[in-house]
Structure 1
């Protein structure tokens, strides 16, 4: 049933239907890239709905990367849609097992020590924090899959100091026990270097390396450097 408000707005129209119609117009280039679209008041009158409904639809399109909304400057269609990528921190054992291989994990080293300058910079450390340095090797069918060099800020997650990391990898423990609020991931191709002896390859062989930093609000949790075997392939869905 359609309910019409006193101001003429039609409560049966959802923000999703408005979003879909606006998306159809963008794809048909009725609103060309870089062009201003009608303002919320005019769109609300056109669709016969409340302005708040139009606002919700446009916010969703902006979040999806199709619109650029600027206060006092209006809303424009983006020249090139900017899609938002959502990444979850991967669990290595899940990835290995999903490929059909048998997973194994080895703790190589664990000690509390001062971090190098790069780690201090990435974690924005003052120099007074206690850090746990852990290096480990992850295998697929007994073949080296990934070498991990990780620094963990004990001031943020002190509980991990009592965890037996020979049985549980720091990656698994942190994902399950130390929720993060934000972080960064960097991917690069580089020579294996010092990781070569663990990955059983030549020091100048190219490998994929992933650098990850996670935070709990303003508190740094961990910096991890993961180097994968030369045969590793990464797949992302867009």
Structure 2
């Protein structure tokens, strides 16, 4: 089997011979062929990069698919599911946050599906409802993290530390500091019970962000007492 150097030498020799007889020039100028050869290499490199990116994207989409599937695969009664306030909050969070990201990954921006996604204020209304429900019925916040709401209701979605953090941030922005403090404290408690400390928006660790909010809300609550 010929090695690469031998093949290159033979190819170069053949090209010189063909050029000397004017064979190549009868079809296309040598300079054009060289240009197209270089172009093909660039196109291949671009194609190779695109394939690698698509493989990475596919892995991300598979992960998100499993996440979306896990949210509703055990729902047997849609009406009972959405009548549960915790499930309502989970649904609104998915519709306003999770699905907008998934649709963007699917390159479906500005599609009909994305235009009919609920506005962020619909999610914040759901947040206000959960906070009011917890206050009126004096619900144990530990139960909320376990998905326990009322007896004889559809199995609830469990609130995570991210949910507690967002609820606290929303109430903090409305200057309802006492309410916000309760949710931040619960978020921090859950964070301590969870391994790892993922990054929140802005690059800060969740624990760091929670401690900052707790410090601020404690100051505001203290000033008002």
Check whether TM > 0.5. no
Q: Which has the higher helix share?
A: 2
Greater strand proportion: 1
